[in-house]
Amino acid sequence: MLGSQLRRSLAVAEKDIRIYYLKAPVVIFGILFPMFLFLAFLIGRSIPIEVMISCLLSMTLFFTATAVSPVILPWEGSVGTLERLISAPVSIPAILLGDVLASFIFGVVISIVPIAFGLLLGVRIYSPLVLATAILLSAFCFSYLGTLFSTPPTNVPSNIMMISNLFKFPLVFISGIFIPLEQMPPWGRLIALFSPLTYLTDLIRYSIQGISSYPILLDFAAIVLFTVMFMVLAMVIHMRASI
Amino acid sequence: MMTGLNAIEVEDLTKRFGNFTAVDHIDFKVEAGELFGFLGPNGAGKTTTVRMITGVIKPDAGKASIMGYDVERETINAKQMAGVLPETSNAYIDLSAWQNLMLMAKLYGLAKKERQNRAEDLLKRVGLYEKKDVAVKGFSKGMRQRLQICMALISEPQVLILDEPTSGLDVQSSRLIRSIIADLNAEGVTFLLTTHNMEEANQLCSRIAIINRGKIVAIDRPEVLKKRIESLHSVEVSFNRDVAQSDLSGFLGVDSVEQMGDKFRLYAREPAEVIYNLVDYARSEKVEIVSLATISPTLEDVFVKYTEVI
């Protein structure tokens, strides 16, 4: 049963990629949006290239992995495809996993762009294994966070976009991307603990700059914990909304 | 698990939205191989019932099962048994007809060769094979609905639940869908069909249920239901010149008379007696009968009778 539902998740992911991700505006937006945000904050400031690439990579993965997954279910509800999907023998967790897989692939693939950009500029990756593991785990974590944003009972995608941006932008500012955790006030460091982006940022700094605020095992454990929490919450809330 | 011969069983099914009871403790059974019509006016509870049977929404009370599988407790098994055409559903317009069918086939767990063969057969059957690689956004409404029928049929289900399958379609598409329904039913597929089209229900359904304000108000074979409202038997007559309606309403056994253009419709329990009286009347008044026909109650009459606002 589990294997058959997993195959159906893959079918949902394939559908999502064809419909929502393989579109030029989505791909371009996935690259350009973090780039512009990054430039807006860092241009004119004397910051080492390793720090700049770390910031860009964190933001790219975060924004791409949470870009489309929040709006898939409300969008499908509004155009009438969701009812057909949930009439099929596929469970709600399997549909969510499909949406998450598509988002995960998109996030991971787009993350290659800032990494390649950094390598071209001479950035050296201190620990490729830590970097790869951090990107893979965080892409899952942020993708489930994206599906959690779509739990409010609405079929209006713009409402969901508003709600998700309301959460996403503050997270960027409290996660040590623009201001390293060490330079934050104590209350800032306390709030940062509750953001999954903090731990990805820390792992990327470790991979590229060789420094981290927390032990990397703690960073990984925190990301796994956030992933499980987002996954369970998304499944419970979405299942409560349906059968 | 599998119990008995009922393809669909609905027991005490209830759904409330706030203070409004959309479906109110309804019960019915659809036997295997039956083509069961589910009729009702807009807002009567048809689609809500179908949504509960197909596992899209959860009932507040009661239960539904498909081929013996409880929809709420054995959801995946129940859904696996049925092909569904939801009323408000759409195919994915950014995907081609072929990609839509492949998606549905994968969601039903069909193997690659099986899904390709079935998709090819179905698209040929509905005349869409030549357009199989065209994005659905370029399809007409009729083509989209034909594709959606294919999507419901891709798993070769034993039970088909179709919510308004011919609503708003052109004559050719409606006829094609009706002929597919009739053919599959002849092959033993069970249908639960909701429709507003009384003629369609009359032609296709072996049994119908009428739901009004969330309650089942009639359930039987169409001809039996028509017989139940014998007061609606009538004789329709027209003359070569005007006659007074009061002359006709005075006939023995006539319950009421209705003028419809140049015709009169006389409602009576014994139409034969009315015909004798009409002939005698024409002779005595020296008027010529231009047309004369007995009219039996239609399914539409039955529907109106059971769903009229009290």
Determine the residue type at B73.
R
Residue A87 at interface with chain B, using a CB cutoff of 8 Å: yes
Per residue in A128-152, pLDDT (tens digit) is 999 999 999 999 999 999 998 877 6
Sign, Cα dihedral of B136, B138, B141, B142? negative
What residues contact A40, with CB distance under 8 A and at least 6 apart?
A: none
Question: Looking at beta carbons, which residues of chain A come within 8 Å of B106?
Answer: 7-8, 10-11, 14
Q: Are A213 and A181 in contact (CB under 8 A)?
A: yes
Residue A4 at interface with chain B, using a CB cutoff of 8 Å: yes
Distances (CA, A) of B231 to B39, B40, B208: 22, 22, 21
Residues of chain B whose beta carbon is less than 8 angstroms from a beta carbon of chain A are 51, 54-58, 71-72, 75-77, 79-80, 84, 86, 88-95, 99, 103-104, 106-109, 148, 151
Percentage with pLDDT > 70 across chain B: 97
Contact criterion met (CB < 8 Å) for B55 and A80: no
Q: What's the whole-number mean pLDDT along residues B171-193?
A: 93
Residues in A 13-52 with any Cβ partner in B closer than 8 A: 14-15, 18-19
What pLDDT does residue B205 have? Answer: 93
Contact criterion met (CB < 8 Å) for B79 and A18: no
Phi, psi of A195 (to 5 degrees): -110, 125
Residue found by looking up tokens 């020296």 in the block: B286
What residues contact A208, with CB distance under 8 A and at least 6 apart?
A: A50, A53, A54, A57, A118, A123, A124, A125, A126, A131
Residue B2 in this model has a pLDDT that exceeds 50: no
Distance from CA of B31 to the nearest CA of A (A): 21
In a 3-state reduction of DSSP, which class is residue B19?
Answer: coil
How many CB contacts within 8 angstroms connect chain A with chain B? 84
Sign, Cα dihedral of B96, B101, B107, B112? negative
Distance from CA of B73 to the nearest CA of A (A): 9
Per residue in B80-105, pLDDT (tens digit) is 999 999 887 789 999 999 999 999 99
What pLDDT does residue A27 have? Answer: 73
Let me know how long chain B is.
310
ipTM of model: 0.86
Confidence label for B3 from pLDDT (cuts 50, 70 and 90): very low
Residue A11 at interface with chain B, using a CB cutoff of 8 Å: yes
Residue found by looking up tokens 């009421």 in the block: B256
Find the range with the poorest average confidence among A105-114, B31-40, B222-231: B222-231
Question: Looking at beta carbons, which residues of chain A come within 8 Å of B79?
Answer: 87-89
Name residues of chain A where pLDDT drops below 50. 243
Distance from CA of B86 to the nearest CA of A (A): 6
What residues contact B46, with CB distance under 8 A and at least 6 apart?
A: B38, B39, B40, B163, B194, B211
Contact criterion met (CB < 8 Å) for A81 and B77: no
Taking CA atoms, what residue in B is nearest to A15? B103
Taking CA atoms, what residue in B is nearest to A23? B94
Determine the residue type at A160.
I
Query: In the 8-state DSSP scheme, what is residue A181?
Result: G
Q: Are B193 and B85 in contact (CB under 8 A)?
A: no
Beta strands in chain B (DSSP E): 6-17, 20-31, 35-39, 61-66, 69-70, 82-85, 159-163, 190-194, 207-212, 215-220, 234-239, 254-260, 263-268, 289-295
What pLDDT does residue B291 have? Answer: 93
Per residue in B57-73, pLDDT (tens digit) is 999 999 999 999 999 99
DSSP conformation letters of A76-100: HHHHT-HHHHHHSS--HHHHHHHHH
What residues contact A77, with CB distance under 8 A and at least 6 apart?
A: A83, A155
Chain-centre distance of CA A53, in angstroms?
Answer: 17
Q: Are A28 and A107 in contact (CB under 8 A)?
A: no
Higher pLDDT: B270 or B126? It is: B126
What pLDDT does residue B1 have? Answer: 41
Confidence label for B179 from pLDDT (cuts 50, 70 and 90): very high
Task: Give the separation between CA B271 and CA B275, rounded to whole angstroms.
Answer: 6
Distance from CA of A78 to the nearest CA of B (A): 10
Q: Are B205 and B36 in contact (CB under 8 A)?
A: yes
Taking CA atoms, what residue in B is nearest to A10? B106
Distances (CA, A) of A84 to A88, B55, B68, B84: 7, 11, 22, 7
Per residue in B282-292, pLDDT (tens digit) is 999 999 999 99
Residue found by looking up tokens 């603990």 in the block: A193
Task: Give the separation between CA B28 and CA B303, rounded to whole angstroms.
Answer: 18
Q: Helices marked H in chain A — which ranges?
A: 2-16, 24-42, 49-65, 69-79, 82-87, 92-120, 128-149, 157-173, 186-192, 196-209, 216-241
Nearest partner of B180 among B168, B170, B166, judged by Cα: B166
What residues contact A101, with CB distance under 8 A and at least 6 apart?
A: A9, A10, A12, A13, A143
Residue B163 in this model has a pLDDT that exceeds 50: yes
Q: Are A60 and A142 in contact (CB under 8 A)?
A: no
Higher pLDDT: B295 or A116? It is: A116
Determine the residue type at B230.
E
Contact criterion met (CB < 8 Å) for B56 and A83: yes
In a 3-state reduction of DSSP, which class is residue B243?
Answer: coil
